[in-house]
A and B are shown apart, each in its own frame.
Chain A
């Protein structure tokens, strides 16, 4: 509770929290949608926002508001899959490389460096063209994204483990006969949790962005599944702005902006909270 009170003092955390509450509410609403929002000609075409259709309807006769609720759900799901899996890989690789050291460390790190150095954008475009059918499922898309998102964070976790290994409590634990597995999971893991948590949020940010980018190129997830990216792509592809249906195009852009800003502010306020030096620097020492 103390922690929460401190966090809510940061206006960025409060804003992000409110945005997420609204988004979660919309996700819950998506389960009560009166009809499938992707079905065409369900409603009148190209209606401006009104009480009946809160955010208007598309040129294809779909209700933008209900599409929006589904898009949030699917985009967040993709991001969750990608970040969970990549956190798992990063933590495992970082712990093993940091604790074992030697050849294992070098092999794992150069593997990670290779995925870091390759121009990720071009690689992504290539992969999603090659695996076009496989990537259409959002779990698979999340897995593909996760595969390229662990390397940097594994490096951070590894360096943390390297420094933990030199601390006294490690020797105490080793001398008192704690197994390596127990030592790493019980003693080291609490130290790593803050890193894992903040990088998790950053990773979600990146995954949602990548999904939008791939959908923008007509790649990635199945275009009939509503996500932020496919909503945007549909509006651009059908020339929503020339048709005068600005609500169709502005809704996904505004949603994307909200999600990105909320995630960024959340990660910023949390990492500042966890790293007091940054907090002091922000507030300034001499008042």
Chain B
């Protein structure tokens, strides 16, 4: 009972409040943008050489407003926004009218999710294992070399890292393709050629995210293992003559992994942002790339949908982590 009232309830209230504030911000912010989608659309028609007489122009503006869900006062729009949000409907995309926003998002989301899930996991596994072993043998030369490399790579932000990899492995040594999700003209079907093409195009963005994530986990794990290594039970295990490899993997790394599990969850938000940036650099057809184009085109509905989805995704994952924290780490007492 005290758990629910003392720990669960305040966090649940905060979760709902922050999500509400975030979603409201997602509604208000795009409406303050200087880019007017209706003017832009009309300008686009005119650039095709279509002559629009002034009286028809007003009719057209009204029709477009109705189509885009921009009619009525701001408050009415806000109510309509919540109604549609609860149904999971974000209206049509303004730049690629009349494709529904949800269709665009669901078309590109698998690319981001696939890239993100794979790289987060791989980066975590590599970073933790290598960091664990390097922390145990911290005195050896290769551990110091790895530490030096990590010190150099850690401060580099995602976009500079992706640019560096792009320059090195796509321009200077053309091993990987320059960008995109698959080769031009490849039909997305289940055959070896398609899968090979997708993998080759995903290699560089994935490499960026794995390096950036892996280095973070490497450094954290190394520090923790260095602490665990000095504990009495490790000395005892060594004195008892247990095989050293067994000591490293069974006793030291396993015990040190606990905090890194929570770290994996916490880093998800950062990794999400990083994935968006990486997609922009590599023109990888995920959510980040869609967001970039949406901002450039002043596509209200699309920006809003992406902002809403990321707000809900991040607040929910933080909330779930908060709930799991006392389970994982008994030292965090709920109060």
Contact = CB atoms under 8 A, between A and B. Distances in A.
A122 B288 CA distance: 9
Interface stretch (A82-90, A138-146, A170-178, A279-287): A279-287
A249 B167 CA distance: 10
A114 to B, nearest CB: 5
Interface stretch (B21-29, B86-94, B246-254): B21-29
B188 interface: no
B315 A126 contact: no
A130 interface: yes
A125 B291 contact: yes
Contacts of A284: 138-139, 226
B307 A113 contact: no
A271 to B, nearest CB: 13
Interface string B200-222: 00000000000000000000000
Contacts of A127: 29
B154 interface: yes
In this complex, the member of A130, A249, A284 whose beta carbon has the largest number of chain B beta carbons within 10 angstroms is A130
Classify the secondary structure of B's interface with A: helix
B16 to A, nearest CB: 12
B156 A213 contact: no
A265 B29 contact: no
Given A130-B32, A261-B152, A256 B167 contact: no
Contacts of B160: 209, 212, 253, 256-257, 260
Contacts of B22: 114, 117-118
Contact of A122 (B152, B167, B310): B310
A155 interface: no
A263 B155 CA distance: 8
Contacts of A212: 157, 159-160
Interface string B270-294: 0011001100100000000001100
A120 interface: yes
B159 A118 contact: no
Contact of A130 (B34, B139, B154): B34
Interface of A: 12, 110, 113-114, 117-123, 125-127, 129-130, 132-133, 205, 209, 212-213, 216-217, 232, 241, 249, 253, 256-257, 260-261, 263-265, 268, 281, 284-286
